[in-house]
Copies of this chain bind each other. A is one copy, B any other.
Amino acid sequence: MTRLVMKFGGTSMADLERIRRAARLVAAEFDAGHRVAVVVSAMAGKTNELVAWTDGAGKAQKRPENENASNVTPVEGDDEYDVVVASGEQVTAGLLAMTLRNMGYDAITMMGWQVPIITSDVHGKARILDIPPAKLETALDAGQIVVVPGFQGVTESGRITTLGRGGSDTSAVAVAAAVKAIRCDIYTDVDGVYTTDPRIESKARRLPKISFEEMLEMASLGAKVLQTRSVELAMAQRVPVRVLSSFVEPGQATDQGTIVCDEEEIVEKHIVSGVAFSRDEAKITLLGLPNKVGISALVFGKLAQANINVDMIVQSEKRSGDYANQIFTVGRRDAQTAIDIMRDGKDEIGFDDIRLDDTVSKISIVGVGMRSHTGVAETMFRALSEKGINIQVISTSEIKVSVLIDEAYTELAVRALHAAYGLDKIGA
């Protein structure tokens, strides 16, 4: 029999009534002949509460004589943080298993340490290293519905770990890969992946299918349907992922969601599959930068040391042969830190002046069809131009074109591009 992994997020586990609905969805798949493993998040809000407690415990008043004690472990990376926070998923896993049992199904939980889900020892941000499938497979083959708490694992030395926020998607994909599931169904509060955000463009269409590569671009560009890491893992392990709403009853017709899969399995390929946008952008311009070898390494090395992620980079507008202006973008919350770092290194780097613009947004078109079609970027630039939208920075990848524009034009740009690529005619 085929194996299926189903994952339910925090809103789908928020109370007993929703847990019952999730149980009915699980039961329907089991009755349809699948062997089913379920991965669950904590009740919505619960992880925040637990994290707040760990923050409070971490700020416990220090004894004066220990103020600077070298053996004080910082809260970040504290393995006891994981012990506290992992408890949220333990509760929902147990409750879902009990609910299934009381519906007449043979369900059993396996905690991260019982499976085991072996992770690195970077507490609070652990990465899954291995999931030995034997225990899961034995239970599944015996007809048991196995419920696994997401987000948690265990180190080789037997300490509890957590994967960082949103890690339950990654847990689900990793479990699916381990048991060679035909698919990993991610039940969430949206019913699929759309051509763009329906709150901005009412004509947005749900995509029946999207390739891993496109989903990865969409996820990293701000479409918050799936965690980037879970998509990377699904692509690497070739596990098809389906995103669908948990707010439906089993068998409801519209409940097909979006399947994220290999490009080869998508018959109807689109040149552009979606328009993504991100307002979390800030543009920094270094004016009068010496045009010499190693200057970029110096600038971006300083930012990398501060763990600041630089996105778009353009070196342009030479003032003379020896000087250039350097433009780059960072996340808006990092902008001030980046400015401070640059100012601290002003003498070493040798620029004239620095400018910050944090009223910009990034608009992107994503589609595997770009690989084989020309003129895709041109259509984008023309569509924006016709609406009088100025493009400040451009960056491209094999299946993506991103532009930086004035934030005020975000919605206008999204709608213009959605229409220009005929996305309102796509899909279901």
> Which residues of A does B touch, CB under 8 Å?
16, 19-20, 23, 27, 50, 53-54, 56-63, 65-66, 69, 71-73, 75, 78, 80-84, 86-88, 90-91, 93-99, 101-109, 111, 113-114, 158, 160
Contact B72 A102 (CB under 8 A): yes
Question: Could you tell me the distance in whole angstroms from the C-beta of A263 to the nearest C-beta in chain B?
Answer: 40
A96 to B88 alpha-carbon distance, docked (Å): 17
Chain B residues with Cβ under 8 A from A106's Cβ? 71
How many Å lie between the Cα of A19 and that of B148 in the bound state? 30
Interface centre among A65, A72, A91, A106 (most CB of B within 10 A): A91
Q: State the CA gap A99–B80 with chains docked (Å).
A: 10
Q: Report yes or no: B58 in contact with A102, Cβ–Cβ below 8 A.
A: yes
**One of B72, B83, B94, B104 near A62 (C-beta < 8 A):** B104
B54, B61, B109: the one contacting A95 at CB < 8 Å is B54
B91 to A53, Cβ gap below 8 A?
yes
- Contact status A80-B57, CB under 8 Å: no
The answer to whether B91 and A87 touch across the interface, beta carbons within 8 angstroms, is yes
B104 contacts A72, C-beta separation under 8 Å: yes
Q: How far is the CB of A62 from chain B (nearest CB, A)?
A: 6
Q: A95: which B residues are within 8 A, CB to CB?
A: 53-54, 57, 80, 84
Known contacts: A16-B57, A54-B94, A63-B27. The answer to whether A83 contacts B103 by CB under 8 A is no
> CB-CB < 8 A to A61: which residues of B?
20, 103
Given A90-B90, A91-B84, A23 contacting B60 (CB threshold 8 A): yes
Distance between A334 CB and nearest chain B CB, rounded to angstroms: 28
- CB-CB under 8 A from A84, the residues of chain B are 90-91, 94-95, 98
